[in-house]
Amino acid sequence: MMKETAQAHANIALVKYWGKRDEQLILPTNSSLSMTCDGLLTKTTIAFSKQYTQDTLTINGKIASQGDKNVFGHLERMRHLAGVRLNAKIVSESNFPVAAGLASSSSGLAALTLAAMQALGLKKSEKELTILARQGSGSASRSMCEGFAVWHRGTKKDGTDSFAETIATKNNWKEFRMIATVVSEEKKHIGSRSGMAQSMKTSPYFATWVNAAEEDCTRMQEEIAKKDFEAVGMRAEQNALKMHAVMISTNPPIIYWIPKTIAVMEAVQELRAEGIPAYFTIDGGPQVKIICLEKNVSTISKKIKSVEGVLKTIVCKPGDGASVVADHLF
């Protein structure tokens, strides 16, 4: 039996990806920049065998529907590359709520890509793996990489220059922290795929967003190289708000925030007014991720846990890229 297991961490974007220039190949309208988070881990085992009469996928103990286009479409793509026709059994486990705005698709599709390619016997470089993972879910390209990663938008039609790479390793900025604050464990109501397409079609701010985000990505790479925490934090917060302005101005509107989201955003602003450098970022869901330095984690965590409705906080350091591991889930 061809069976392999891989693990990958979710990444949280500091400069967001929202918009595709090619829906099939998943090519973005702007480059993005993220931190791979050591506290948000997905592990996936895949086996291909004649024994299986159909493809199956189990995520955190629940059987997923065959309609999950991201996963099954991606599986088919990789099988096609290898010229293999066997059905697959996939079991995936994450140590955090999935599909709730904690970037589970980034770690999930990255782990699946690596495990499947390994099981199919196709050896690829990290760059090639980021290109392949990108076609499963855009943000998964960045989860292949250690530490801080940039996913280049690229300009080629075939997507060969739209890949992700590490721009700073986890040891380059050891003090950097991301506190993922969970305010709801419900599945999000609008997926990123349809949300982005709708924003491109209807938000009057979309073109402005693309230019601003590209500029943010260039500037933030310089700020990370200088380890200028306040510049990175401020730019990340501003960039997230620009993306949410596009989402909110989409027709019909895409509003991921709930009252508890705003309560945490306010708490972060209060911390800053008290002289503690803390910034927030938010993705396609109600959770708020707080960007800070190690020395301020306990003060910030204490304040955030006192906000009514905060269910959980997960403190993350810059983490490792995806890797093949030996302990299978079945």
Q: Closest approach of Cβ 91 to ligand PMV, in Å?
A: 21
For ligand PMV, the binding residue among 8, 10, 13, 232 (CB under 6 A) is 13
Terminal C-alpha separation, the chain: 13
Could you give the CA distance from residue 315 to residue 172 in angstroms, rounded to a whole number? Answer: 18
Q: Based on the shown chain and the rule CB under 6 A, indicate whether residue 137 belongs to the binding site for ligand PMV.
A: yes
Q: Based on the shown chain and the rule CB under 6 A, indicate whether residue 36 belongs to the binding site for ligand PMV.
A: no
Query: Mask 91-130, x = binds ligand PMV (CB under 6 A)?
Result: ------------x-x-------------------------
Q: Residue 119 or 291: which CB sits closer to ligand PMV?
A: 291
Kind of pairing between the strands at 176-182 and 312-316: antiparallel
Q: Residue 47 or 264: which CB sits closer to ligand PMV?
A: 264
**If we measure between CA atoms, which residue out of 4, 7, 16 comes closest to residue 239?**
16
Q: Residue 139 or 203: which CB sits closer to ligand PMV?
A: 139
Could you give the CA distance from residue 67 to residue 88 in angstroms, rounded to a whole number? Answer: 15
Q: Based on the shown chain and the rule CB under 6 A, indicate whether residue 32 belongs to the binding site for ligand PMV.
A: yes
Residues 256-315 that bind ligand PMV (CB under 6 A): 283-284
Q: How many CB atoms lie within 10 A of CB 309?
A: 13
Q: Residue 57 or 119: which CB sits closer to ligand PMV?
A: 57
Q: Based on the shown chain and the rule CB under 6 A, indicate whether residue 16 belongs to the binding site for ligand PMV.
A: yes
Residues in CB range of 235: below 8 A, 6 or more apart: 14, 15, 216, 219, 220, 223
**How far, in Å, are 30, 65, 275, 282, 323 from residue 9 at the CA level?**
23, 24, 31, 18, 10
Q: Based on the shown chain and the rule CB under 6 A, indicate whether residue 192 belongs to the binding site for ligand PMV.
A: yes
- Give the footprint of ligand PMV on this chain (CB under 6 A): 13, 16-18, 32, 103, 105, 137-139, 192-193, 283-284
